Amino acid sequence: MSAPADWTPERLADRGQITEVLYRYCRAIDRIQAGHLIGPVFHEDALIDKTGTPDPVAVWAAVVAQRHPGVPAASHMVTNVLIEFLGPDSAFVESWCLAVERHPPTADEPRTMDRVYRVRYADRFERRADGLWRIASRTFLTDHVMAIPLDSAPDPLGASRLTTRRDADDPAMRMRRELGLPPV
């Protein structure tokens, strides 16, 4: 349970900054912007553990940059963010993520598959000399993975909908440019 000191105006601002880092992580993964992971999301010396053996964040980001262009659609959603402050500039953050990825056919699986990943992130956040909160270490915890063959029936409204893209031509990215917002 959080202590009363964890709910001061300063701590509320810290909570907001930490939560936004998690959201920026999702956008960087979904838009295949591996370069937006180190610096805005992770400290340069962060460690990422998906297997029980942590890797430097740069190694993991290179794998993301290589793997995700082969995934034509992805959506990561972070929920249930629990923040426990360990000190003035450190926190343990546990958050739940639901990710849906479309995977094209492979030699092992001849059908297009939607994979639904239910995972948790166990993160140690730190605020360092620049005053910004970033992830210093992350452990990926997989709760459940479900693979669903793509329904081949055409979407009756598909042609009339704006659809997402995993690059700078995504409609939201175009809108940002039109509004004069900096690229992300």
pTM across the whole model: 0.91
Cβ neighbours for 104, distance < 8 A, ≥ 6 positions apart: 70, 72, 112
CA gap 164, 135 in Å, rounded: 27
Chunked in runs of 10, what are the mean pLDDT values of the chain (184 residues)? 86 98 96 91 97 96 92 95 97 98 92 95 97 98 95 72 86 92 86
pLDDT for the residue numbered 2: 76
- DSSP alpha helix (H) spans, the chain: 9-30, 57-67, 171-178
Tens digits of residue pLDDT in 63-114: 999 999 999 999 999 999 999 999 999 999 999 999 999 999 999 999 999 9
Contact, 54 vs 47, CB < 8 A?
yes
pLDDT for the residue numbered 183: 81
pLDDT for the residue numbered 14: 98
CA gap 101, 69 in Å, rounded: 11
CA gap 181, 102 in Å, rounded: 29
- Going along the chain from its start, the domains and CATH numbers come out as 4-151+158-178 (3.10.450.50)
Cα–Cα distance list, 27 to 1, 11, 88, 131, 156 (Å) = 30, 24, 28, 22, 28
